[in-house]
Amino acid sequence: MERRLNKIFLKSLLEKKNSIVTTNEALRWIKRQNEIIKVEVEQIAFSELENWGFDDLSLRHHSGKFFSIDGLSVATNYGVKGHWNQPIINQPEIGYLGFITKEFHGVLHFLMQAKVEPGNINYVQLSPTLQATKSNYSRVHKGKSPAYLEYFQKAARENILLDQLQSEQGGRFLKKRNRNIIITVDEEIDVLENFIWLTLAQIKELMLKDNIVNMDTRTVISGIPLGDFQYESLNLVSSISEISSHEFTNGLLKSCAYDVKTKNTLNDIILFITNHKCNYELDVSKIPLSALNDWVIDDTSIRHIDRKYFEIIATKIKISNREVVDWSQPMVKPTQDGICAFICKNIDGILHFLVQAKLECGNFDVIELAPTVQSLTVKDNGEFENTVPYLNYVCEVSENKILFDTFQSEEGGRFYREQNRNMIVFADEDFPTETPDNFIWMTYSQLQTFIKHNNYINIQARSLMAALSFDL
């Protein structure tokens, strides 16, 4: 069954001709959706929030649902700063991030939604078929149910192609997870005005443009393997071997093989993870927002005294095609764009990715595997942040070594116009294979092995994995 699924996904990744619409037609469709949907987002004072307010501890919705903004005290032996306070989003619900798929002309297509989130930079982005928190799909807001919800609630086991529990940003959410799910159907589906069928190849092609494919789509498709091959059979995969002449593509193809000789075995990686989970300490406790050190609460924001990191703001929102068309809510507003980057290198002809064990205060289990570089502070007074390993290398690498370089939005339902530069860099032969203690080399197949399990690969790494294809 798993091999058959891999072939179905692989065909959707490689097939360029048998799509229902062309990628250019999809871009024009997205533009039309932006013209059709009316959006108003206004920053307001906290006192103007409807159904939200401060209590002794938090900023929360009067229903007790949705999410709250809590204060957090953090103590750790990870990194250079051992103790800090910060606000954090507390949303313990597990939401749906789901795709309905269906074969057309023998090629698997994904039902994409042109979804407006209040924090999106360009308003309309391509989201999964279903993107809903538990509060939303249980209709706490007293609005309509999300479209196509019943397909996921009634999906038979044999129609579920992927089903994973994945984390969100550990620096902004407290132990937040979502159900990433892909189902397939045979019956005809009534396609609503703001939905469109696209292949996996088209989704990845659209990721080459800034802020078109939203974060929730990226996290779901990251769990779809590029392939799961036996090493000896790679030369028989004619559809891929024709495009595998480039050094990177050839290395990536071999990196998909589950039995290839790797720099580190799966057991080595498990020992690496276990060692860091045991050696790093993470002690978090909730405290009142009013007790946060180095943070200022005024009428319109909760912000760091140095105006670093992010701030909490209040917004008033009107979106014409939502289950509820107007509401207000708090949002997280970044102070600057960040950068997330994978450095990859062919080691003995096999592509490896340089992965770090990263501790963030909201992590479910101390550390998760993150990209080589994950920094929300790229420059300080015009200078690169020297405390972030490999950041200088990524920012100064020659252009011909950059395989992927776009701005990708974070989740617009909670974050206000936040985007990070996403990069995949193909390292020179002389790039050292020796690494700092909390970094390790992994193949694509090994990353896919761990992505199947909860709380191993963080969302920034998954976003970059979603961009990988044999066309880079």
Cα separation, 274 vs 271, whole angstroms: 5
Q: What is the 3-state secondary structure (H, E, C) of the chain?
A: CHHHHHHHHHHHHHCCCCCCCCHHHHHHHHHHHHHHCCEEEEEECHHHCCCEEECCCCEEECCCCCCEEEEEEEEECCCCCCEEEEEEEECCCCEEEEEEEEEECCEEEEEEEEEECCCCCCCEEEECCEEECHHHHCCCCCCCCCCCHHHHHCCCHHHEEEEEEEECCCCCECCCEEEEEEEECCCCCCCCCCEEEEEHHHHHHHCCCCCCECHHHHHHHCCCCCCCECHHHHHHCHHHHCCCCCHHHHHHHHHCECCCCCCCCHHHHHHHHHHHHHHCCEEEEEECHHHCCCEEECCCEEEECCCCCEEEEEEEEEECCCCCCEEEEEEEEECCCEEEEEEEEEECCEEEEEEEEEECCCCCCCEEEECCEEECCCEECCEECCCCCCHHHHHHCCHHHEEEEEEEECCCCCECCCEEEEEEEECCCCCCCCCCCCEEEEEHHHHHHHHCCCCCECHHHHHHHHHCCCCC
Q: What is the mean pLDDT of the chain?
A: 91
Chain segment 351-403, per-residue pLDDT in tens: 999 999 999 999 999 999 999 999 976 554 444 456 799 999 999 999 999 99
Distance CA 286, CA 436 (A): 32
Over residues 221-272, the pLDDT tens digits come to 999 999 877 776 666 554 555 555 588 998 999 999 988 999 999 999 999 9
The yes-or-no answer to whether 2-37+92-221 and 231-281+338-467 have a common fold is yes
What is the band of 430 on the pLDDT scale with cuts at 50, 70, 90?
Answer: very high
Q: Is 142's pLDDT higher than 70?
A: no
User: Comparing 16 with 337, which gets the higher pLDDT?
Assistant: 337
Quick one: pLDDT at residue 381? 47
pLDDT at 462: 98
Average pLDDT for 121-149: 81
Pick from 194, 182, 39: which is nearest to 115 by CA? 194
Which of 65, 50, 217 is closest to 134 using CA atoms?
65
pLDDT score recorded for residue 229? 76
Burial of 12: CB neighbours in 10 Å, binned 0-12, 13-18, 19+: buried
Cα separation, 356 vs 191, in Å, equals 42
Distance from the Cα of residue 338 to its chain's centroid: 14
pLDDT tens figures, 324-350 = 789 999 999 999 999 999 999 999 999
Residues 381 and 390 sit within 8 Å (Cβ to Cβ): no
Residue 103 sits at the vertex; the CA angle it makes with 97 and 107, to the nearest 5 degrees, is 105
Q: What CATH topology corresponds to 231-281+338-467?
A: Nucleoside Triphosphate Pyrophosphohydrolase (3.90.79)
Q: What is the pLDDT of residues 103-113, one digit of tens each?
A: 999 999 999 99
Average pLDDT, integer, range 59-72: 94
The residue ranges of every structural domain in the chain are 2-37+92-221, 41-89+285-334, 231-281+338-467
Q: pLDDT class for 195, splitting at 50, 70, 90?
A: very high
Assign residue 105 a region: left if phi > 0, alpha if psi is -120 to 50, beta otherwise?
left
CA distance linking residue 179 with residue 364, whole number of Å: 15
Q: Which residue bears the tokens 């064990």?
A: 357
Q: Are 240 and 266 spatial neighbours (Cβ–Cβ below 8 Å)?
A: no
Residue of 288, 304, 297 lying closest to 70 (CA atoms): 288
Closest among 209, 266, 148 to 409, alpha carbons compared: 209
CA 41, distance to chain mean position in Å, is: 24
Alpha carbons 254 and 246: distance in angstroms, whole number = 12
**Topology of 2-37+92-221 in CATH?**
Nucleoside Triphosphate Pyrophosphohydrolase (3.90.79)
pTM for the predicted model, two decimal places: 0.94
Mean of the pLDDT values across residues 147-168? 95
The radius of gyration computed from the CA coordinates of the chain, to the nearest angstrom, equals 22
CA distance 414 to 182: 23
CB atoms within 10 A of CB 300: 16
